[in-house]
Structure 1
């Protein structure tokens, strides 16, 4: 997922479709979304690991 987000920065299709004024903001939003994902602890993780450790 991180590699996909990084690839957005050089994706000509995204820039052609969204334009030079919107595409960087879209990429920035996706980067932030990925960072949020990395620090999120899912209910499954809580259930599995809190009982184990």
Structure 2
């Protein structure tokens, strides 16, 4: 499998799928946001939206 090096640079953190994110607890989503350097405040829906953009 060939990997696009540019994609690796743009998205170094592999995120769970949208359905997996929806099953996660808010605290887990907050941790993912922290790891990605994103804002950690908001509802689960807001955190999921932030992570998937």
With normalisation by structure 1, the TM-score equals: 0.28
Bigger radius of gyration among the two: 1
More helix by share: 1
Using CA pairs under 8 Å that are at least 6 residues apart, name the structure with larger relative contact order, 1 or 2: 1
